[in-house]
Chains A and B, each alone.
Chain A
Amino acid sequence: MTIIDRPSTDVAVIGGAPTGVKPSEALGVFKRPAASTSWRDWVVTVDHKKLGIMYGVTAFFFFIVGGVEALLIRLQLISPDGKVLNADQYNQMFTMHATTMVFLFVMPMAAAFANYFVPLQIGARDVAFPRLNAFGFWCFLFGGLFLNSSWFLGGGADGGWFMYAPNSSTLFSPSHGIDFWTLGLQITGIASLTGAINLIVTVLNMRAPGMKMMRMPIFTWMVLVTQFLLLFAIPVITVALFLLTFQRSFDATFFDVASGADPLLWQHLFWIFGHPEVYIMILPSFGIISEVIPVFSKKPLFGYPIVAMSGAAIGFVGWGVWAHHMFASGLGPVSVTVFSMATMAIAVPTGVKIVNWVMTMWGGKLSFTVPMLFAIALVVQFTIGGLSGVTHAVAPSDTQQTDTYYIVAHFHYVLFGGAVFGLFSGFYYWWPKMFRRQLSEGLGKWNFWLMLIGMNLTFGPMHILGLQGQPRRMMVWTEARAGEGLFNFGFWNRVASIGSFVLGIGVLLFLVNVIYTHKSKKVAISPLDPWDARTLEWMTHNPPQEHNFDTIPTVGHLDEFFHRKYETDASTHSVKQVHSAEEVMAELNSHPDEHIHMPSRSYWPILLALSLPVIGYGLIYNRMLMAVGAALVLLTMFGWSMEPSTSPDEDFDPPAPGEGGGHTKELSPLG
């Protein structure tokens, strides 16, 4: 081990941190923030791993907020004539539950994994635009807080998560809830858009030598597809949100039916974003389990190119299916037929993936660790949800199911049973990489089984409820109209509500597990390669140092790390381990790179992101405040653009004695 990020010696003493770099004073408006280990470092950091953890913690916080909202909904429906919430609160609750889970939990949690692991998996030292990365995180945090501040300022949005117009106009929703909703989602949208640009450029441009596209781990592939979907989907919702904001705040007529407006405009704009959005939520989880299943089956992923390309195919076809959300709106037979067929077609690449995961496990040496259990549960539950999804593609059947609990059952099977289980698989799989300790398998199994049982108890009965005709977003049910026998509403609503609390306890056990793992003396430091993994992110320390790799590896294979550990005997088709993970790493690091200059910390991302909610509050309460916010945005942008992302070379490498001039002052454009 050598010290790579070479600070000038006096700085290490001043800063007190080993990787400190003395900030040049002449650059930008402020002095650059110096290295530090305190909370301040988290505020000014541009390190993709720290930002990944911050994304994760914040997203989990919103997961709990959204979960409490869900439990309140289920509490309302546990008994006839529920009195927990009134109608207005109930509307806010389901709207904010969905919004929080979609925009503030699943998407940013996927971004957390993408931020942390994509650079490691492709052998890069950071993302392409580190400050933009930090800016994205702060936009997500402040956007989420802004959105949720509506709870304390007159109530949350109440139009349902797809916020159909004209129901979302001020006539029907006079509180400020929807204004907070539109503006909050604009701010988090900026986070998604900058994140998408950043990760696409990172994956396309910053791969280690030899890391061809078809050698990238599947998780990276799926993140790439997801980011392209975000890149093109976010601007569409941006337009829709602007139109709604103009309608509500400036009396524009876009959704004013009296002026001849077409209510389908919002539906089209929303779902052109909204359907790619569902793939944005599920594909990262597909990527995670495509890493987990081969590792715990001790086999390479079956049909790697097919899995990568079917992900890309989902990305393409995902743009041609949006109107299946609108079959009941009277689109006409041609549109319905086309979208119906496209929707059936998109089941094909998804099915291909499921076959590939099953074939990967087939004949493998399976070990049923917690990450593997979550991954297998994803495959099963996503298949169930996928099959009920195909029934929506059949338009005549869909007109019966639409706006019933059957739909609620379907999308919770694919999103909770699929996306969320995939994220939990990722927590357990990558925890030792991120935090040096392996989460307890014992508690993890309780966590898994309670979540599995809770999830199926909650959402399974909703199929029955829906086919019996219980409408989505129904606020109360009465004993008199619940029916009798096996299919009565009352019984299955109770089952679903009890299931939701089992699910809640399951999720809480995850937090218990985290606390136990980090507080208990009994949990040992995890070995370097606890799972016998296959990909590059395991070829460095746990957790990786700021510069990720002491030496950037040269990649010769798919599953590079596996190929460095194992040798295949061609005659017997057997595989035997020839090196331990520690040996592989020691060999890699025998000639560490020198002059590694990491991007420097910056104040600007958080300052720019802080100015955005100011505009938001200004638009709602006081137009002067809006001008202040806009001025702040402009000023911080100027400050940002005058600060080079990397301190000059002499900050890292002071001129050697006798060398005199030192390094050239010209900054390399790229590095």
Chain B
Amino acid sequence: MAETAISHGHDVGHGAHSSTGLSNNKLGMWMFLGSECLLFGGLISTYMLYKGRVNAGPQPDQIFDIPFTSVSSFILLMSSLTMVLAVSSAQRKDERNMNLWLVVTALLGATFVGGQVYEFTSFYREGLGFTTSLFGSSFYTLTGFHGVHVSVGIIMLMALVGMNRNKRIPGDRAEVVELIGLYWHFVDIVWIIIFTLVYLIPS
């Protein structure tokens, strides 16, 4: 998140000493992602419990457009590839390519979120509102939370590009890119699980 800039009070010298060998920032990010697993665990459980419970409005298989969502899933997964390229450019101190891949990653993410917005609109037109049924409430909550996570990721990527341009990134730039990369990959992996459980496995 926005705490990537944090480091702690220096001891003697400037070596990056830590008891585990991982930097504080990276360990902190891993802990945060561990916590996020339980957040999505709770949301996915809620969805799985309510998947087939439709008192009113459409059933899942009546509205899901698997080819469309497959394409947008593929786009999101490709953004993980471009994120890896951005991290590797950052580690090689290749600033031009780093910025390029960060922007591409953000664009791919934005395409995915755009697809989600389109999908939500069309589902709504077909009669699935947030309050229509248990399926509606839990579907929009789960995928909505994921969409918000992707959007936060996009904001972080664009902020990274902007701050890099103004030389406002404190600390180790390659590590900051890597940390946002960790978050980004995590959000992608969550989508693989959601796509499988929500869209592919029929209710």
Contacts and interface: CB of A to CB of B under 8 A. Distances in A.
Interface of A: 125-132, 193, 196-198, 200-201, 204-207, 211, 231-236, 238-240, 242-243, 246, 250-254, 256, 259-262, 265, 269, 272, 547, 552, 593-599, 634, 637-638, 640-646, 667-671
A260 B10 contact: no
A670 B5 contact: no
A81 B146 CA distance: 53
A254 B35 contact: no
Contact of B8 (A126, A200, A637, A641): A126
B138 A669 contact: no
A206 B22 CA distance: 11
A130 B9 contact: yes
A243 B46 contact: yes
Contacts of A646: 7-10
Given A206-B19, A235-B39, A669 B159 contact: no
Contact of A670 (B12, B18, B37, B55): B18
A251 B136 CA distance: 12
A253 B137 contact: yes
B38 A235 contact: yes
Contacts of B53: 259-261
B143 interface: no
A239 B18 CA distance: 34
Interface stretch (B80-88, B107-115, B117-125, B165-173): B165-173
A645 B55 contact: no
Contacts of A256: 134
Contacts of B2: 637-638, 640-641
Contacts of A201: 24, 27-28, 31
Contact of B10 (A206, A240, A243, A597): A597
A231 B163 CA distance: 30
A478 B173 CA distance: 71
B17 A670 contact: yes
Interface string B25-50: 10110011011111101110010011
A671 B39 contact: no
B134 A547 contact: no
Interface in B38-76: 38-39, 41-43, 46, 49-50, 53, 55-56
B189 interface: no
A196 B6 contact: no
A181 B19 CA distance: 40
A244 to B, nearest CB: 12
B20 A204 contact: yes
B9 A250 contact: no
Given A204-B27, A205-B18, A669-B175, A259 B133 contact: yes
B25 to A, nearest CB: 7
Contacts of A193: 35
A669 B6 CA distance: 8
B1 interface: yes
A242 B10 CA distance: 40
Contacts of B17: 670
Nearest to A268: B45
A552 B31 CA distance: 27
B195 interface: no
B124 to A, nearest CB: 14
B55 A260 contact: yes
Contact of B6 (A132, A205, A238, A250): A132
A198 B28 CA distance: 7
Given A198-B28, A265-B49, A669-B23, A596 B170 contact: no
Contact of A671 (B4, B9, B133): B9
Contacts of B34: 231-232
A595 B14 CA distance: 10
B24 A670 contact: yes
Contacts of A251: 130-131
Contacts of A246: 137, 141
A193 B28 CA distance: 11
Contact of A593 (B11, B25, B39, B137): B11
Contacts of B175: 669
A132 B8 CA distance: 11
B152 to A, nearest CB: 10
Interface string B90-101: 000000000000
Contact of A126 (B5, B9, B28, B172): B9
20 contacts: A131-B3, A197-B31, A197-B32, A197-B35, A201-B31, A235-B36, A236-B41, A242-B141, A243-B46, A253-B132, A254-B50, A260-B55, A594-B12, A596-B9, A642-B5, A643-B170, A645-B170, A669-B7, A670-B17, A671-B10
